[in-house]
Amino acid sequence: MESFARAIAAYAEGAVFTAFDIETTGLDPRRDWIVEFGAIKFDRRGVIVRYSVLIDPGIPMPLEAGRVNGITDDMLAGHPPVEEVLPDFLRLIKDTVIVAHNAPFDCGFVNENLARLHRAAATPFPVLPNKIADTLLLARRFFAGRERYSLQSLASDLGIKAQAAHRALDDARLCMELFIRCCKAASI
């Protein structure tokens, strides 16, 4: 993970970041699949591009996961599989600092899906080479003493309004705004 100071300094210096979030069929990256990517590329001046895509996982959407994110089989039908989406996502995040809330979860899923696809093709697989800023860790440092540190709780506590909670693009937006608040709390 990118250190606090380096991530905040990079923001102050005008680096480009990509806040992202995923929705999945479950919590285990070894057996579950990504069904939605949401990402916002930004720098200190503002949003550069927004990216949102649904993915057909090739399996039925589990009811438990669907209850959390509101994604159904009908919504996923006809969308591309993850192997068609991952190259676009990797191009989007190239040369940016990744921002994610509880980054090991989201980045772990991306890395496992990359590994799974490359094992099937018997080719070496890349892992995310990006520097990473985890807003969960940043929030614990700059907004200490909170009862809960979930993205939704932090957003509510800080007056950041969720528009579509537990959908990837809106969660990526919340993550971006939380990152910016952490940078401001660090007095840059």
User: Residue 127 burial by CB count (10 A; 0-12/13-18/19+): exposed, middle or buried?
Assistant: exposed
Residue 166: active-site member: yes
57 DSSP assignment: -
For residue 134, give the H/E element and its range. strand 132-134
Tell me if 124 sits within 8 A of 137, measured CB to CB: no
The rounded distance, in Å, linking the Cα atoms of 50 and 39 is: 6
Q: At 102, is the secondary structure helix, strand, or coil? A: coil
Half-sphere exposure of 29 (CA within 13 A, CB side): 15
Name the active-site residue from 79, 101, 118, 166. 166
The rounded distance, in Å, linking the Cα atoms of 95 and 130 is: 7
Tell me if 167 sits within 8 A of 39, measured CB to CB: no
The rounded distance, in Å, linking the Cα atoms of 41 and 36 is: 17
Q: So which residues are the catalytic ones?
A: 166
